[in-house]
């Protein structure tokens, strides 16, 4: 089983739609979780950190479920500019800050 | 905000040559820097963890003699791809963590390497 798994997609949605991505992780000792956004041929940029039960930033909401070992990202009112690959990142836990990246979920928002 | 630069942003070289990529944290000190490689439509693959003043820790399957990492100061880490081959062509990205007990990463813009 891979350490961090994501549905690669692509998710193809119209503008204004709500879309949700899930990410599962295998290391139950993991302490911190992040969502990054990566545009084509660019570096990842931090979208949200998820430290406790989840957090919200505008149209973006991240949730953490430790019991089931998954985190989710919800995007409401999708914009064309939201089209990108969304990477789930989990830090190792047990005192380790080594990050593990998921493969990424591709989102395409169309008019 | 924290800024990380990489140089060069792209490089084309002949097979058999060595290429050095620099990663700099511009406005903070980075105790730890990470080097990643990303092939098209693939996720980032961690190559090594670089700590200032000590030897880098390489991930399984990454040849330490081929990918030389030097973290000589708190603001600079370098990755040298030695005797590059076409299969080394990839997008190389570094990231930096400010401090030891923080897990926020700031990424450099990446270096696109093409080996002919």
Residue A96: per-residue pLDDT: 63
The proportion of chain A whose per-residue pLDDT surpasses 90, expressed as a percent, equals 59
Banded pLDDT at A2 (limits 50, 70, 90) = low
A88 at B interface, C-beta within 8 A: no
Residue in chain A lying closest to B44 (CA): A101
Tokens representing A98? Answer: 């080594």
Nearest CA distance, A102 vs chain B (angstrom): 7
Cβ–Cβ gap B34/A99 under 8 Å: yes
Q: What is the mean pLDDT of chain B?
A: 90
Banded pLDDT at A104 (limits 50, 70, 90) = very high
Residue in chain A lying closest to B10 (CA): A41
**Residues in A touching B105 (Cβ below 8 Å):** 46, 99
Q: What is the pLDDT of residues A65-101, one digit of tens each?
A: 999 999 999 999 999 999 999 999 998 665 566 788 8
- Of B33, B28, B14, B10, the closest CA to residue B90 belongs to B10
Specify burial of residue B54 (Cβ count, 10 A radius: 0-12, 13-18, 19+). exposed
Mean pLDDT confidence for A42-57: 85
Do A66 and A85 touch, CB atoms closer than 8 A? no
Buried b (16+ CB within 10 A) or exposed e, B84-105: beeebbbbbbbbbbbeeeebbb
Cβ–Cβ gap B102/A101 under 8 Å: no
Nearest CA distance, A44 vs chain B (angstrom): 7
Nearest CA distance, B68 vs chain A (angstrom): 19
* A43 → closest Cβ in B102, B104, B109: B109
Cβ–Cβ gap B43/A87 under 8 Å: yes
Which residues of chain B fall below pLDDT 70?
Answer: 1, 99-103
Residue A93: per-residue pLDDT: 62
Q: What is the mean pLDDT of chain A?
A: 89
3-state secondary structure (DSSP) of residue B62: coil
3-state secondary structure (DSSP) of residue B88: helix
- Sign, CA dihedral A33-A26-A38-A109, equals negative
Residue B101: per-residue pLDDT: 60
Q: What is the pLDDT of residues B28-52, one digit of tens each?
A: 888 889 999 998 878 889 999 988 8
Banded pLDDT at A32 (limits 50, 70, 90) = confident
Instruction: Give pairs for A62-70: CB < 8 Å, separation 24+.
Output: A62/A33, A62/A35, A64/A33, A66/A28, A68/A24, A69/A24, A69/A25, A69/A26, A69/A28, A70/A22, A70/A23, A70/A24, A70/A25
Could you give phi then psi for residue B87, rounded to 5 degrees? -70, -10
Which candidate in B44, B96, B100 is best for mutational testing of the A interface (most A CBs within 10 A)?
B44
């Amino acid at each position: 089983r891979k350490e961090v798994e994501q549905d690669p997609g692509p998710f193809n949605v119209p503008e204004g739609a709500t879309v949700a991505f899930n990410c599962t992780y295998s290391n139950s000792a993991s302490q911190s979780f992040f969502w990054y956004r990566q545009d084509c041929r660019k570096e990842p940029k931090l979208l949200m950190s998820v430290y406790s039960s989840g957090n919200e930033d505008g149209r973006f909401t991240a949730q953490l479920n430790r019991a089931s070992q998954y985190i989710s990202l919800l995007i409401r009112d999708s914009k064309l500019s939201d089209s990108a690959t969304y990477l789930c990142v989990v830090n190792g836990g047990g005192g380790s800050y080594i990050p593990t990246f998921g493969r990424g979920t591709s989102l395409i928002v169309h008019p | 905000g924290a800024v990380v630069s990489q140089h060069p942003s792209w490089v084309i070289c002949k097979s058999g040559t060595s290429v050095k990529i620099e990663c700099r944290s511009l406005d903070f000190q980075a105790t730890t820097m990470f080097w990643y490689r990303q092939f098209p439509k693939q996720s980032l693959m961690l190559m090594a963890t670089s700590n200032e003043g000590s030897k880098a820790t390489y991930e399984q399957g990454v040849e330490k003699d081929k990918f030389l990492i030097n973290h000589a100061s708190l603001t600079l880490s370098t990755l040298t791809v030695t005797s590059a081959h076409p299969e080394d062509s990839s997008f190389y990205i570094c990231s930096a963590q400010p401090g030891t007990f923080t897990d926020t990463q700031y990424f450099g813009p990446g270096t696109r390497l093409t080996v002919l």
